[in-house]
Structure 1
Amino acid sequence: MGCFIAMQEPSIAPLLKDLQSPDESIRDRATQALWRIWFEQKGVLGFETIQRAQTLLQEGNIAEAEATLTALVEDQPDFAEAWNRRAVLYYTQGQYQQAIADCETVLRLNPVHFGALHGLGLCHAVLGNYPAAIESFRKATAIQPYALANQRLLLECTMRLG
């Protein structure tokens, strides 16, 4: 029952509320705090493994970065951010179906993961699946109403449907 570890953090509800604040500094602090909670869900080892994969990716060692993240999700299948990082890797490599599958896993584990909702929307938009993209961007916007990127993408996808 580790599915909602991030959700059970006592600090997460106020942070989600702060994402709705008209004050940008409050929203920024809440966003950073949520990312920290998500990245640190599995302690130092999980965080360091994600960092190692990110370094490998930045160095262009995509196969080893993917292998590192795959080993992490196999070892820690309830570590939502590990799945999210692998989804980002797949997206940057144009492997949109794999990215979608990983984003969907993130959202099963952490339904308020606005990064995964954004990524899921991007993947669907690239594939021309605008209704699914719109749904993802709407959900992301409900969590982060002031996120201009999601508002813009929601509008773009809606216009493409029209």
Structure 2
Amino acid sequence: MSSSLILGSFLAASLIGSPALHAADASQASATSELTTPKHRLETLFGELKREREPDKAREISERIRIEWQDSGSASVNLLMQWAAKAMEANRQAAALDMLDQVIALSPHYVEGWNQRATLHYQMGNYRKSMSDINRVLAIEPRHFGALAGMAAILTSAGKDELALRAWEQFLDIYPADRKAQEQLGELEEKLAGNRT
């Protein structure tokens, strides 16, 4: 499998995340939701993610973070996001883009609206627009590891390996147990070391 395909599949998984909750995930999400505010829950989860060294446990924490990000606090925005996800799955990109534009207009500080539009632009090959949306995601939530993975993938495909390396380093500072990110960082370090000799 080519590195661009690996990066693309990693990007899609990182940016989109898993839409379905398993029973165990639901109970963990329920326990986390007992904390006071979404901001407080995210702070707690990011602390756990940074400390966790076991990849499977870290993945569970990352899924709980994604669940927190998905809830906009608005029933209308949440519904538009569901419709956009279904349109993306059905390869109806223009419809999905229209819905995500509406999400952003209705809720410009909702991080997942920008993130999903970045993912869609990436899938459509609009890397400049995807990178612009990624920058908006990171302005709202600098710890958005999915957006950092997307940024690293775009930078790698553009041949900007040193910048991609920095994006992976930022990703791993937030989510140290992610094996795919560790592999991508290692490959870039080897490539850059080879270029310097």
Same topology, TM > 0.5? yes
CA pair 93-159 structure 1, distance change in 2 beyond 3 A: farther
Instruction: Report if aligned partners of 2:80, 2:99 keep a CA contact under 8 Å in 1.
Output: yes
State the TM-score, normalized to the length of structure 2. Answer: 0.73
1:4 maps to what in 2?
none
CA pair 33-158 structure 1, distance change in 2 beyond 3 A: same
Q: Which has the larger radius of gyration?
A: 2
Q: How does 1:13-28 map to 2 (within 5 A)?
A: 13-19=43-49, 20-28=51-59
Question: Which residue of 134, 157, 160 maps to 2:188?
Answer: 157
1:108 maps to what in 2?
139
Tell me, which stretches of 5 or more residues in structure 2 are unaligned?
Answer: 1-36
2:100 maps to what in 1?
69
2:72 maps to what in 1?
41
Query: Which range moves more in the overlay, 82-91 or 25-34?
Result: 25-34
Instruction: Report if aligned partners of 2:149, 2:171 keep a CA contact under 8 Å in 1.
Output: yes
Partners of 1:23 and 1:12 in 2: CA distance: 19
Partners of 1:137 and 1:27 in 2: CA distance: 17
| 1:84-126 superposed Cα distances (whole Å, 9 cap, x missing partner) | 0011111111111111110110000001111111111111111
Q: Which amino acid aligns with 1:58?
A: E
Question: Which residue of 1, 8, 11 maps to 2:41?
Answer: 11
Instruction: Report if aligned partners of 1:18, 1:26 keep a CA contact under 8 Å in 2.
Output: no
Partners of 2:169 and 2:82 in 1: CA distance: 30
Partners of 2:56 and 2:166 in 1: CA distance: 28
The number of equivalent residue pairs is 156
Once the 2 structures are TM-superposed, how far is the Cα of residue 72 of structure 1 from its aligned partner?
Answer: 1.1
Partners of 2:108 and 2:183 in 1: CA distance: 33
1:31 maps to what in 2?
62
Question: Which residue of 169, 187, 193 maps to 1:138?
Answer: 169
State the TM-score, normalized to the length of structure 1. Answer: 0.88
Partners of 1:160 and 1:73 in 2: CA distance: 38
Question: Which residue of 121, 144, 157 maps to 2:152?
Answer: 121
Instruction: Report if aligned partners of 2:53, 2:176 keep a CA contact under 8 Å in 1.
Output: no
2:16 maps to what in 1?
none
Report the aligned-residue RMSD: 1.7
The question of 1:88 aligning with 2:119 is answered: yes
Tell me, which stretches of 5 or more residues in structure 1 are unaligned?
Answer: 1-6
Partners of 1:53 and 1:98 in 2: CA distance: 18
Identity of aligned residues (%): 23
Instruction: Report if aligned partners of 1:41, 1:79 keep a CA contact under 8 Å in 2.
Output: yes
CA pair 84-150 structure 1, distance change in 2 beyond 3 A: same
Greater RCO, CA 8 A, separation 6+:
2
